[in-house]
Amino acid sequence: MQAPPPWKLKGNGYIFLYHFPKSFVKKLGFLADYQADRFNGDFVGTVMLVDYATSDVGPYHELLFVPGRLNFDKKKIFSISKIYVSSQESVENGIANWGIPKELADFRISKLSEKEEVVEVMIAGKTFFKVHLHKRSFKFPITTKFFPLKLAQKLGNDLLITNSPAKGKASFTKLLNIEVDSSYFPPISQLKPLSILAVSDFEMEFPHPEITSKYF
């Protein structure tokens, strides 16, 4: 199934904010060569756990790691180094449309209450990421208008830069437990997050990327 951009997506998710040590990212961040050469650890990075209720390829789940910003000429832009999704259509189109290196995994969500849940991510029945989270009650608006979400990825020899506007409602979230297998995903269980936000009823767009041919 081919689904060219733009995509419009809606759903819920979690944003984990970290300042990842440079040594952690270089050793455990699953950086591609072009990312390793450009990463300097100067800014916050993130882990995102997302439940897309609607998208141009149907609903799917997602777990991704953004180590921080990379240097591209005089610009500093975020980049995804590890990402799993729950549908093959999302894998194929994510790579073809935006150079996002998606891999296929299974997701299991155990809702313990209205505010508390456990999320597991698995490959071949083996759980490599498990997190237990508790959402606070107070919600506030959040938008990329004040904090643009721009991604730079490599596809072949081309550089693809995508600016993805999004908005939703956020609430602070408490991390109760986390387990990560470093063979599959950066072991963020070794680190303390700066903050975790639960984002509900978000709307997001993935437009056509800006393509610089033969950049690499």
| pLDDT of 40 over the 90 cut | no
Neighbouring CB atoms inside 10 A of 43's CB total 12
Residue found under tokens 């072991």: 187
- Residue 42 belongs to domain spanning: 7-212
Which of 43 and 9 is assigned the larger pLDDT? 9
Nearest CA among 136, 129, 109, 134 for reference residue 189: 129
Which residues have a Cβ under 8 Å from the Cβ of 28 and sit 6 or more positions away?
A: 182, 186, 187
User: Could you read off the pLDDT of 118-174 as tens digits, one per residue?
Assistant: 999 999 999 999 999 999 999 999 998 766 689 999 999 999 999 999 999 999 999
Flag whether 138 is in a domain: yes
The least confident of 42-46, 106-110, 118-122 is: 42-46
Flag whether 191 is in a domain: yes
Q: Residue 195 belongs to what H/E stretch? A: strand 195-206
For residue 150, give the amino acid letter. Answer: K
| pLDDT of 99 over the 80 cut | yes
Flag whether 2 is in a domain: no
* Average pLDDT of the segment spanning 91-117: 98
| pLDDT of 41 over the 90 cut | no
User: Could you read off the pLDDT of 170-212 as tens digits, one per residue?
Assistant: 999 999 999 999 999 999 999 999 999 999 999 999 999 999 9
Flag whether 143 is in a domain: yes
Mean pLDDT of all residues belonging to the chain: 96
Flag whether 102 is in a domain: yes
> Torsions phi, psi of 24, nearest 5?
-65, -45
Query: Alpha helix locations (H) across the chain?
Result: 22-28, 33-36, 88-98
3 state SS of 26: helix
Q: How many domains does the chain have?
A: 1
pLDDT in the model for residue 72:
94
Q: Are 155 and 143 in contact (CB under 8 A)?
A: no
Domain of 128, CATH number, reads 2.40.400.10
Flag whether 1 is in a domain: no
Neighbouring CB atoms inside 10 A of 81's CB total 22
| pLDDT of 43 over the 90 cut | no
pLDDT in the model for residue 146:
61
| pLDDT of 78 over the 70 cut | yes
Which residues have a Cβ under 8 Å from the Cβ of 3 and sit 6 or more positions away?
A: 56, 57, 89, 93, 97
| pLDDT of 53 over the 90 cut | yes
pLDDT in the model for residue 144:
84
